[in-house]
Structures are given as C-alpha cells and as structure tokens.
Structure 1
Amino acid sequence: MTDSMNSTTYTNARLVTPSGVVENGWLRVAGGRVDALGEGPAEGRDLDGAWVLPGFVDLHVHGGGGHSALASRDAIREAIAFHRTHGTTSTLVSLVTSPLDRMAEAAGWIADLTEEGLVLGGHLEGPFLAHSRCGAQDPDALRAPDRAELGRLLDAGRGTIRQVTIAPELVNTNGDTGLDLIRDLVARGVVAAIGHTDATYEQARAGIEAGARLVTHVFNGMRGLHHREPGPLLAAGEHPDVVLEVINDGVHLDDAVVRMLDRLAPRRLALITDAIDATGIGDGDYLLGAMHVRVKDGQARLIENGSLAGSTLTMDAAVRRAVNDVGLPIETASHYASAVPARVLGLTDRGTLTPGARADLVFLDDGLRVIEVP
C-alpha cells in the first residue's frame, strides 16, 4: 500500500533481521530506506509468508547472462541486470588479469558505471599474483609487484577501484614487494585482499599486518591448510578483522569445509559468486579474459588444464545452498550474503533490515528462490 508520504508497507512476511527472524512481520519503506518494521497484523501489501532478506552484496563478479566485464561497458550493464534478477542489489565488478592497457580501459568503464550509481566499484583480481597459483588467470599477463603500475590502474578507475587481490610474498627486481602494494592500497582507502598466492603462514600474516583485510575465494588459488604449514587460511582465521570469501557452489568447497570455515571465522565469511559470463546461459565454450573455458554440468574449467575458472553461481543459489546443504541458519546465510560484504567495503547504509538502511530487498519463496527484487 502506498500512502501520501510515498511509503510502501509489506505485510505477512518472514523478515530476516540482525536479531533473528520476525515471523508474520511487516516492513515499511519510505524514501528508498527502511522506515520501520515489526511483528503482527498491518495494512499493506500481503507477501503471503515470503522471506524478506536484505539485497545481496557480491564482492566478486566477472560477468553473467552471457556478458563479460572485460567485453564492454554495456556488457557490464547487462551482467549487473542479470544478477539483480537473482537478488544481487550491490555489485563489485571483478576484472581478471589481463594486459595493463585492457585492465585500465575496463577500470574506466567501471568508473563510469559507479558514477551512475549502477555498481559499487571495481575489484582487480591481479595482475600481481603468483604464477604457481594463477588458476584461471592468464599467466602471460601476470606482473611482478610494481607500485607505479598499481597506481596507474587505480588512477584509471578514478577512485572507484575498491578492492585489489595481491600475492603478498611476491618481490620485484626493482625492490617493490607485494607488501608494498598492500600498504599503498590501504593508504588509498582500497581493500587489499590476499589471493592467488603461495604465501606461507608467516608471509600471509605479514600481508595482514600490512593491512590486508580480505581473502579472495578462500582455499582456491592458494597454498592449502597443512598441519606443519597452515598457510594463508589460518593466518586469516586468527585475525578478527579479516573476512574470507566463500564460493558456496558445492564445487569450489565441500559443504563440510564451509561448515568448518563458519566455525573458524564466525560472522566473517562473505558469500561470493565469482560468476563468469556463462552464468545463466548453460554449458559450452567461453572466454575468461584470454583463457578458454569449457562449462560442463555447470562447472567452469580451463580447457587447457582443467583448472576451475570462476563459477556459474548466483547469490540466491549460494544462500539456498548455505541453508539447505551446508545447514546454516537463514539469518547466518543472509549475514554472509549481505552484511559482511557490505562491511568489508565500509558500507554502513545497506546489508541489513534495520531502520535507516537502504531498502535493497529480495523476496524469496519457501524454497528460497527469488520471487521479486522490488
């Protein structure tokens, strides 16, 4: 129901709030914000018991709906529109490692779209990554850490690059190190993420001490967890301010591993998609940057060596799996899909159903499938 103050009230809903699920809840939206919410009968639009969650915040998206972030400005628009239909209301556009000129050009597109308010900004997944853990990144485009080159990419993004993945252990012959790049990112207000790295536990800790506060798709593209060399995972798990990205598609991580991560770093996981252009399209052959990818049975792998190459995951599916397969409470899954990634970026205006927050909403049915993104 819309009244004279241009507000809309949703009723008969299951509201997923920071303090728990409000059964038979109502929520009033005014001026694009959550105005109030409560429990019990109310006048308004009857949602017939639908779940209402804060819109999803995806920190890691390369494309979707047949559109790649490296293709064009319009392709990014189309990918964002596709993911919105799956509940993602805030997106950080990710660029795979490519030649510097191409990454700089795409960073400019992202800046344009950020200034329009369509996206949150950009995430550079490279090019300062370890060859030994490059995964589906183009090995020919990887670079040794170079502060000037990093500055060029950040400048191309005109202040809209909000996250960069770095291998902290790398050293350049010119004296620049991965740790230098992390410090430069922090100084410019950019989130430094550790990823595609062969860092030891000690090297990862050094990266965290330099200011890194995120781990890119944990366990994937990094040294694993070993009882005599715990690697980046445990270094990150021990620090209370570090968030771990999780690709919860049942392929990148076993469900038991996701449960372990939830115990290791409670309230510090961020569900991401790492989605490529094939998402929502189906099996077939695709390009991820310069790398040839084959999608079969929904799994994206490099044709050359079978390495996982992003995913075909959507955020609603990640949340659904978190509840139905991993066994997390819906409040926890929602927190990991919205509040935690918003917090990583310092966004205090979204990610929760609380008065004053942006009214970025997603309505889900009993099977946790999207009914509507109002």
Structure 2
Amino acid sequence: MTEIRLANVTKTYAGGQTAVDGVDLTIHDGEFFVLLGPSGCGKSTTLRMIAGLEPISSGDLFIGERRMNEVDPKDRDLAFVFQNYALFPHLTVKGNLTFGMKLRGVPASEQERRLAEVTAMLGLAPYLDRKPGQLSGGQRQRVALGRALLRDPVAFLLDEPLSNLDAKLRAQMRTELVKLHRRVGRTIIHVTHDQIEAMTMADRICIMHDGKVAQVGAPMEVYRNPADTFVATFTGSPPMNLVPGRLENGAVHFAGASLPLDAKAAAGEVTAGFRPEDLSLAALPDRVEIQTSVVAVETLGADAILVVSLAGGQEIEMRVPADTRLEPGSPVSVHLDPDRLRLFDRQTGKAIVRAR
C-alpha cells in the first residue's frame, strides 16, 4: 500500500504570495482522487509540489513512509500528464511513447511488448507512425496517457488534461479515464475546475478555495452535505439556492416559511440552503410551502430550470419537467423537501449540524 500524504504543506512565493496554505491530505493507494476548485485556488500548485516541480515552502510530503521534500522529480516514481500534453512534435507517436523507456535503458524486446500492450489498451496502434500535429486533441491526450502508463509509476498526476477538448470529447475521455483507472489499479490525482469531471470520475473529491482545503469527501457526500457556502455554490449546476434565515424558538424561518427543528444550534442569523431538485411544484406530504412568482422557464431538453422570485425579490432556481409552462409574473407555490434543507452560519459560512 502506497499512500501519498501531505502534512501541513504550504507554498509561498518570493513576493510573499501564499498559493497553498497548510494543506493536510491523505490520498489512498489505488484511489481516483480529484483536486477541484476555481482558477487560482492552489490545486495545480499542490499537484506540482507532489510531483516535485515546485519546492515546498513548509510542511512534509510522504509517498509511502518516505519523506519526499528534497527528492528529485525523476526519483519519485510518479507520471505527470500536463494540460498541453507536452509531446515532442518532431517524434512520431511511437517515438513519444518509447522515449522514456529508451532513456531508462529498457531492453528493445521489453519496449515492444509494453508498447503493444499500451497501444492496444488506448487504441493507438493505427497512429504509431503519425506525429502529434497530425492527431486530434483526444488522440494527443491518449498518447500523453500512454507515455505515462509506460513508466509504470506509483501514481498518475493529471493537470486538467481534458480542458482543451470539446464538450463531446470531454465526456468520452471521462469514461475512458475511469475505465483506464479500473484496468491499471494505480492512484490517479486529477486536477480540474470542472465539477462534472469531479463528480463523475472521483472516488473522493478535495475542494480547494484560496489555497486551503474546503472539504474532502465522496462526490455525493460533498454535494449533499457541503461544509460551507463556498462548497454549496461551487458544486451543482445550477448551484445550491442560498437564502437568509433565522433560528428562533425551535424553528428556522426562511423565504416566508418556517420549519420546526430540534435545539441543535443557538438562535441567530443563518443561511438556508437547498438544491434545485429539492423543490417541487407538487404539494407532497410534509413539504414546506414557499410562495413565489415566476421569472422564467429555461428549457434544457431532458428537463427545465424554473426561476422564481421570493417575496423580497431574491431569485431561486428549481428543476421541473421539460414540458412545464408557466407565465412570467404569475404566482406559484413551490414545495421543499425538509430533509434536504441545509443551514449555514451567516457570519462564517460554515455548515450547522441540524436535526428535525
């Protein structure tokens, strides 16, 4: 078992800018682990520190039981796939794939055996004599992955490898990466700003914000139980609705509605959160009724997004059937599943544990 562990890892640049601030993470052997967050949150810097491409300012990095802070990148037994794939333009696909093996002195017969295995796995056999400029984006990405596979590393580090692909090809390559992970069984650490990539591929997601870890967990755990309002709004499309509320007299009051709660938090100002799919137009048993007015219906194909306005003017969104027809300005009652309501401290944004 080879875990990758970061203990209070910080990266501060010469000008005093802190890109990564006290990150503690344990990435399990064989795990598909995704670092997710907006641009500038520190996710790529974290990946580069694991790879040894960025020096660690403070803290410790361990691969297995070995501290790796001062170990050269070439000696870490990691394979890095860059966003731009970093292929040699003057070499053929075969030349790119075998380059590393030749440097390491792998015997020619072994090179051919491993090359045949990887090209069959990735469907690259028809392209071995082509150069990168003659390949599509998806083909170049597969060559970069193949080159990494031929190293047979402890872990694969992928820095936004799908960001240069169109939407259809991204969806195909997400599936291919998941299948590849199942076949090789090695740790993958994947950096992305795309929550769909994270939700569909990860065993666990680490959401980063301003150089810190905001939350780590399984995709649906992070989605259903966000640790704070940043995670709540960064995950989900549309994101979680957040409306002001107040805890008082054993109930939470929000959006003109009230919901009794057990006394788990002190009275005070809170933010109430609920996902668009947690609302319905149907008045089902035990649902919390909220009075709104229609703003717009945005048809997406399989379903639609109904945008409605609360009494104070704030707009919220909900998922409805694609054939929903409502006139803008007309009043409509929407109904919230109370089990799905999440509460956050108004000042800190942190989640409040509640019980009904």
Normalised by the length of structure 2, the TM-score is 0.24
Higher strand share: 2
Higher-RCO chain (CA-CA 8 Å, sequence separation at least 6):
1
Give the structure with higher Rg (CA).
2
Normalised by the length of structure 1, the TM-score is 0.23
